């Protein structure tokens, strides 16, 4: 599926090499002299993600960095990666761009990766926001799949069955998503993903930006998606209880992709976390965004 790239807001593109020879595709938005902020995308997702008011980052003095996790978009695959493996990639990008300290935020599948950065790079992290993040698979006191819609249950069970099973499923899901986006359908997820009413409204409202985001990240295939899902079902490589940086957890009670029980578990296990729980779904509420940018910029 082709997209009109002229509609994507102006930003800088970087290609950064890792110590093991991989390429990381990075996009930079906002104030080039502002506070560094890594925004880690969901699953699936990629670097071409931006708010409907792209000037918001500069207004809050943020130098916002997004990047394709390995296997998505233009970033080289890192097969077998764990959630914690995002940390050296973040370090590599920050060092290459001359950024000493930074804020980090991640939504949905980006949430665990943001938590990894907060736990393992605490001396460089100013603050961390995890939005609608899953909790660790197999965590004591959490029924991981309870309350998830059928699509997510099928997807996680496929991840537990192994890469071959998961890949076959995600190849089909990718085809469905790209075709529905080409047809301007806001129900771009598979038929097994029955979304809440608040989420259906958000998906329709932000369809043009979703197209840019998903089409670019899924262009090379499903490697990144496969590796994300498998990483979530393995040990993450860190303990969320070790997080000591200022922490904000946001999630919604109407979320049936990542049920609120995941957020409740994280609240109970991350010392001193600030919490913002609403009645919205997985896609959030537009009214929250200004406050989140202010918090990440240290203004709230």
Contact 119, 270 (CB under 8 A): no
Residue 141 binned pLDDT confidence (cut-offs 50, 70, 90): very high
Chain-centre distance of CA 217, in angstroms? 12
Residue 171 binned pLDDT confidence (cut-offs 50, 70, 90): very high
- The DSSP code sequence of 107-143 is ETTHHHHHHHHHHHSTTTEEEEEEESPPPPTT-TT--
Q: Where are the alpha helices (DSSP H) in 163-300?
A: 163-182, 197-205, 207-218, 223-232, 260-269, 289-296
Chain-centre distance of CA 187, in angstroms? 20
In the chain the domains, ranked by start, together with CATH numbers, are 5-296 (3.40.50.1820)
117 has a pLDDT exceeding 90: yes
Rounded Cα distance between 103 and 229, Å, is: 25
Lowest mean pLDDT among 4-18, 87-101, 164-178, 202-216: 4-18
Lowest mean pLDDT among 13-17, 36-40, 157-161, 197-201: 197-201
pTM of the model as a whole: 0.97
Contact 267, 274 (CB under 8 A): no
Rounded Cα distance between 90 and 76, Å, is: 15
Which backbone phi and psi does 221 adopt, to 5 degrees? 135, -155
Q: So what's the pLDDT on residue 164? A: 98
Rounded Cα distance between 109 and 98, Å, is: 27
Q: So what's the pLDDT on residue 281? A: 96
Rounded Cα distance between 107 and 188, Å, is: 19
Q: So what's the pLDDT on residue 3? A: 65
Q: So what's the pLDDT on residue 96? A: 98
Q: So what's the pLDDT on residue 7? A: 86
- Closest residue by Cα to residue 48 from 208, 180, 216: 216
Give the mean pLDDT of 210-228.
97
Residue 153 parent element (H or E) = helix 150-161
Q: So what's the pLDDT on residue 69? A: 98
Give the mean pLDDT of 167-187.
97
Residue 2 binned pLDDT confidence (cut-offs 50, 70, 90): low
6 has a pLDDT exceeding 90: no
116 has a pLDDT exceeding 90: yes
pLDDT digits (tens, 9 = 90+) for 225-269: 999 999 999 999 999 999 999 999 999 999 999 999 999 999 999
Give me 266's structure tokens: 């994280």
Instruction: Write the CA distances from 96 to 19, 257, 288, integer angstroms.
Output: 12, 35, 32
């Amino acid at each position: 599926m082709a997209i009109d790239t002229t509609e994507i807001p102006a930003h800088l593109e970087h290609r950064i090499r890792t110590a093991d020879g991989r390429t990381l595709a990075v996009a930079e938005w906002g104030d080039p002299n502002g506070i560094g902020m890594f925004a880690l995308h969901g699953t699936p997702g990629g670097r071409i993600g931006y708010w409907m008011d792209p000037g918001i980052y500069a207004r809050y003095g943020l130098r916002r960095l997004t990047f394709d996790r390995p296997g998505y978009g233009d970033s080289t695959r890192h097969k077998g990666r764990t959630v914690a493996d995002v940390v050296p990639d973040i370090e590599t990008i920050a060092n290459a761009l001359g950024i000493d300290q930074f804020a980090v935020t991640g939504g949905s599948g980006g949430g665990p990766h943001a938590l990894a950065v907060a736990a393992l790079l605490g001396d460089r992290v100013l603050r961390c926001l995890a939005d609608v993040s899953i909790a660790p698979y197999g965590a004591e006191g959490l029924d991981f799949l309870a309350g998830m819609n059928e699509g997510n249950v099928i997807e996680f069970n496929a991840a537990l069955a192994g890469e071959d099973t998961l890949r076959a499923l995600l190849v089909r899901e990718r085809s469905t998503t790209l075709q529905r986006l080409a047809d301007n359908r806001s129900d771009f997820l598979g038929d097994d993903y029955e979304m809440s009413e608040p989420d259906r409204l958000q998906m329709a409202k932000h369809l043009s930006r979703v197209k840019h985001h998903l089409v670019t990240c899924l262009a090379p295939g499903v490697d990144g998606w496969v590796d994300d899902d498998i990483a979530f079902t393995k040990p993450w490589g860190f303990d969320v209880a070790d997080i000591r940086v200022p922490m904000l957890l946001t999630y919604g009670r109407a979320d049936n992709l990542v049920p609120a029980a995941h957020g409740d578990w994280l609240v109970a296990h991350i010392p001193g976390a600030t919490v913002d729980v609403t009645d919205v779904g997985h896609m959030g509420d537009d009214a929250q965004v200004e406050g989140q940018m202010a918090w990440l910029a240290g203004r709230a």
